[in-house]
Amino acid sequence: MIRCFGLFINRTSNLRFVPFVGIDDFAWRKGHRYGVLICDGLTHQPVDVLPDREKETLENWFKEHTMIIKVTRDRYPRFKEVLDGISSITQIHDRFHLIQNLWTLHDNVLRKLLPNRIEKDTQENISTPQEIPLTKSEKVRVENANKKWEQACHMKQLKKQGYSLRKISDILNIDRRTVKKYIEMTEPPSLKRAKRPKPLDAFQQEVIQWETDGLTISAMYHKLKEKNYTGTYGALKYYVASLRKKKKAGQTLQPGSYYDRKNIRKILWQNDLEDEKKRKIMNEILTKYPKLRPFYAFITSFRQALKDKDMPEFRELILYEKDRQDPLTTHFISRLLSDFPPTLNAIELDENNGFLEGQVNRLKTIKRMLYGRASFPLLRLRILYQP
């Protein structure tokens, strides 16, 4: 029964006239083996499932389906290699992945140019009579950060001498991804760590007021317990000690005198100029960190050109950023230009690859249901079956 059903699916899928398809890969085993899902761009239904994404497999499939004139895809190099050999097919990049890659660039730039916490421009923060002395663990962190920066500078020198990332990795016995991260550093690593949510966060104002009134830590703890505080005595003790250090140094005790980089990332990405509060924050950040301005301008212009489908403006923007040769955007721009015509088609044409993401998720669900109990032929039957 299954054999007959499979034969029926094979014949009907090959005979259908499908002028526009979307292709995307999925993992059999992430990082090792991948297959390819092909869907009809008009009906959004699966057309075929390929067992791998090798060049020969893809070429044979497209040779059997010569009626196809448009293909939407992501920027996987083998898709480009195969489709470039078929002049009759118009290739279109997926706009979702373009925005996703732009968001990754936005996130990486902010991680390198902004600290985790940014002091607000208030009179209290501008005038600080003295600095808080570093603890023993903080001194160790400073030493480690300095060592990292020295190592990063050494890697930059090797890179300038013409060594590849892999060669530098072999010389220093460091993972290639770590070498890439260090070479992209523009300043010493930040010493500020991300703050995790704690039970005490909801009672900070009360604790500050009690510290101002001169209550002991034990008295504060008993008061917090009456307010259903679920944290530990040690956490309260540590927080009060930090308040007393700030008090001794003449600094403000009030929380919220800083911006989180995570919130700044969201505000800059949304670029809501009509909101006066957000606009003020953006102006403050861009004034305090002028190195961020060209990246902010590039990312907002990229998104606007994509939204307006302004292909000449988009092309001019990419070429301008290429001429800037900024190390933080070089990889993004070079990847974009290596496969530029499909990106321009994504701006000019309406076709997109979004429908395929849902079908890939469906495939993954079915694959998990069949895990350990079936092979590729049965999975293909389940994917292509339409009641």
Average pLDDT of the chain, as a whole number:
85
The pLDDT of residue 180 is above 70: yes
User: Is the distance from CB of 20 to CB of 351 less than 8 angstroms?
Assistant: yes
Q: How confident is the model at residue 102 (pLDDT cuts 50, 70, 90)?
A: very high
The pLDDT of residue 118 is above 60: yes
Q: Which tens digit of pLDDT belongs to each residue from 226-258?
A: 988 988 999 899 888 888 887 777 666 666 567
Q: How confident is the model at residue 125 (pLDDT cuts 50, 70, 90)?
A: very low
The pLDDT of residue 320 is above 90: yes
Half-sphere exposure (Cβ direction) of 219: Cα atoms closer than 13 Å: 9
Q: How confident is the model at residue 124 (pLDDT cuts 50, 70, 90)?
A: very low
The pLDDT of residue 200 is above 90: no
With pLDDT > 90 as the criterion, what percentage of the chain qualifies? 37
Per DSSP, helices labelled H in 114-232 are: 123-126, 136-160, 165-172, 176-183, 204-213, 217-226
User: Is the distance from CB of 277 to CB of 119 less than 8 angstroms?
Assistant: no
The strand pairing partners of 27, in sequence order, are 34
The strand pairing partners of 260, in sequence order, are 117
pLDDT at 352: 85
pLDDT at 7: 44
Q: Which tens digit of pLDDT belongs to each residue from 71-85?
A: 999 888 899 999 998
The pLDDT of residue 49 is above 90: yes
Most confident of 172-186, 234-248, 307-321: 307-321
Mean pLDDT of 351-367: 89
Residue 78 and residue 80: Cα distance in Å, rounded? 5
Q: How confident is the model at residue 129 (pLDDT cuts 50, 70, 90)?
A: very low
Mean pLDDT of 212-223: 89
User: Is the distance from CB of 360 to CB of 37 less than 8 angstroms?
Assistant: yes
Q: Is 342 exposed, middle or buried (0-12, 13-18, 19+ CB in 10 A)?
A: buried
Q: How confident is the model at residue 355 (pLDDT cuts 50, 70, 90)?
A: confident
pLDDT at 253: 61
User: Is the distance from CB of 302 to CB of 102 less than 8 angstroms?
Assistant: yes
Radius of gyration of the chain (CA): 28
